Amino acid sequence: MPWLASRASRAAAAPARPNILFIMTDDHASQAISCYGSKVNQTPNMDRIAKEGMRMDRVFATNSICTPSRATILTGKYSHLNGVPVFNRFDASQPSAPKMLQQAGYYTAAIGKWHLGSNPAGFDYWNILPGQGIYNDPVLYDKDGSAVYKGYVTDIITDLTIDTLKRRPKDKPFFMMSHHKAPHRSWTPDEKHRAMFANRTIPQPSNLRDDYAGRTDALREQKQSVFHDLTRFDLKLAPPPGLAGPALRQWLQTKPDEVETEIGGVQKKLVGRELEDWKYQRYMRDYLACVQSVDDNIGRLLDWLDTSGLKENTVVIYTSDQGFFLGEHGLYDKRFMYEESLRMPFLVRWPAAIKAGSTSDAIGINCDFAPTFLDLAGQKTPDDMQGRSFVPIWKGNKPGNWRQAMYYRYYHDPGDHNTRAHYGVRTATHKLIYYWKKDQWECYNLVADPQEMHNIYNDPKARKTVAALKQELLRLKKEVKDNDQYAGHQPAESSYVEAPPPRKQ
Ligand code: CA
């Protein structure tokens, strides 16, 4: 029976399809990861993924905000084609990478942050936070209802990820989305990590006091300023005793311009520059303590993988749904196309195929994630997906025709933080941003001015560069089929969800 023998040898020669462990946090900036050169913290376990695999330096969100980025990751499509330009409910009947992986024989699971307003589709198992979820004693829900989990959300999501992987069917490769709430606002650390940062002084970025000279009105009009827009709630200030109901809510939502607090055992009133510096420290200590818990838990997950014999052929990805401002340009939050918000950290380990300690500067976008997952599973990228697989890049064979520029568009205007609608293009060396509702432009030379402080849009010496970037912007806009179908559109359906009733025990 020679045909049987040849079939058997072919099967033996074909490498098993890899498992995929896709770890994603919410709002984690790459400038708070030590392998990306952080000046503010150390993340040994994230670094371990990079050291044993690859660090990608130019992976960007196409619309830097939570729900839209998640919809793009699932579908491989820009916001205007997946129907989620702002906080819209995700139409789960559309094709997605998890559905295709499941059909291709993968065991698929999603644990933790979801934030898409509709239940996960294409998963053998899911257990998710309702909406944003909370940090302490969070509720999660699955198809049978909700339950309260005692403890800290980052630990719980890791526990549930490991439990789910332990009881997965062993005859299939797995696709596991382990997605964290941290370090999203309200930046609530657990006690252990709060204590680690309580007495540290975090260095300030050099452009914390950016005066926005030469820039458009967009930066001056935003309401995401560390100095002016953090509320008493964000700053974890204790309300006066006896305050309750709407009065308490109003007190907590106030953005204080003076603060009474205890410093070194002495009660002190802070105003002006002293208060500004204190607000930055307050924000950063909490944010970084949340990140540290994620790092510890990634270590726990990597250790479990390695001792379970899964290291060699499991692709471990660490990323965040977008970047975040950690005081650069005086900002917190994301939304803007500036680097700190646009860039997604992207670390990947796959010992069977990726050379340890490698890096890539290929321009990647979050539309590339779905094609990458499908490629790992031996599946073709559907024609209507707008990304390309990272797998050749990981293997050191970047295709010669890889993209030289990426297209970005932010819609939520009017919206939270008063961030102006804009679209733009980023190349390896330059960025052009068009605040189209205001008809104002910014252009940056990212090589000479990586902090994006000098708008060269009106510089006569940059005229040719600006013209070429405009042409590229229009070409890309057309290529990705953005015909302004969502310009000015505010959706009725929101991604806000309540937890369903408790599960029956
Ligand atoms: Ca986010």
pLDDT tens, position by position, 364-390 = 999 999 999 999 999 999 999 999 999
pLDDT tops 70 at residue 3: no
Q: How far is the CA of 25 from the centre of ligand 1 (A)?
A: 8
Q: 194: which residues sit within 8 A by CB, 6+ positions away?
A: 285, 286, 289
For residue 117, the CA-to-ligand 1 centroid distance in Å is: 15
The helix/strand/coil state of 139 is: strand
* Extents of the domains making up the chain: 16-188+286-404, 198-206+220-278
HSE, side-chain direction, 13 A CA sphere, residue 36: 26
Distance 296 CA to ligand 1 centre (A): 20
Is a pLDDT exceeding 70 seen at residue 160?
Answer: yes
For residue 64, report the distance from its CA to the centre of ligand 1, in Å. 8
Interval between CA 324 and ligand 1 midpoint (Å): 8
pLDDT for 494 equals: 74
Structure tokens at 204: 């300030």
When mean pLDDT is compared across 10-14, 257-261, 263-267, the lowest value belongs to 10-14
Q: What's the whole-number mean pLDDT along residues 209-233?
A: 98
Neighbours of ion ligand 1 (CB under 5 A): 26-27, 66, 321
Ligand 1 center–CA 70 separation, angstroms: 9
Q: Is the pLDDT of residue 11 over 50?
A: no
Cα of 160 from ligand 1 centre, angstroms: 21
How confident is the model over 53-77, as pLDDT tens digits? 999 999 999 999 999 999 999 999 9
* For residues 146-161, average pLDDT: 98
pLDDT of residue 7 exceeding 60 = no
Token pair belonging to 369 = 């994630």
Q: State pLDDT tens for residues 118-133.
A: 999 999 999 999 999 9
Report the CATH architecture of 16-188+286-404.
3-Layer(aba) Sandwich (3.40)
Judged against a pLDDT cut of 90, whether residue 495 lies above it is answered with no
Instruction: Encode pLDDT of 322-345 as tens digits.
Output: 999 999 999 999 999 999 999 999
Between CA 396 and CA 454 the distance in angstroms is: 35
- pLDDT value of residue 497: 82
Q: 267 phi and psi, to 5 degrees?
A: -75, 130
User: To the nearest whole percent, how much of the chain has pLDDT over 90?
Assistant: 92
* pLDDT tens, position by position, 170-184: 999 999 999 999 999
Please give the distance, rounded to the nearest whole angstrom, from the Cα atom of residue 349 to the centre of ligand 1. Answer: 23
Distance from the CA of 139 to the center of ligand 1, in angstroms?
19
Give φ, ψ of 401 to 5 degrees.
-100, 25
Asked whether residue 13 carries a pLDDT value surpassing 60, the answer given is no
- Which run of H or E residues covers position 146? strand 145-148
What is the structure's pLDDT at 489? 60
CA of 9 to the centre of ligand 1 (A): 47
Place of tokens 């806009």: 477
The predicted model scores a pTM of 0.96
With contact defined as beta carbons under 8 Å apart, do 161 and 172 qualify?
no
- Is the pLDDT reported for residue 112 higher than 90? yes
Taking the centre of ligand 1 as the mean of its atom positions, its distance from the CA of residue 35, in whole angstroms, is: 21
Mean pLDDT calculated for residue range 469-475? 98
User: Does 9 have pLDDT greater than 50?
Assistant: no
What confidence tier does 492 reach under pLDDT thresholds 50, 70, 90?
low
Instruction: Tell me the pLDDT band of 498, cut-offs 50, 70 and 90.
Output: confident
* CA 190 to centroid of ligand 1, rounded, Å: 20
Residue with token string 């510096």 = 277
Per cent of the chain over pLDDT 70 is 96
pLDDT higher than threshold 60 for residue 6: no
Distance between CA atoms of 187 and 287, rounded to whole angstroms?
5
What is the CA(27)–ligand 1 centre distance, in A? 4
**CA–centroid distance, residue 333 to ligand 1 (Å):** 9
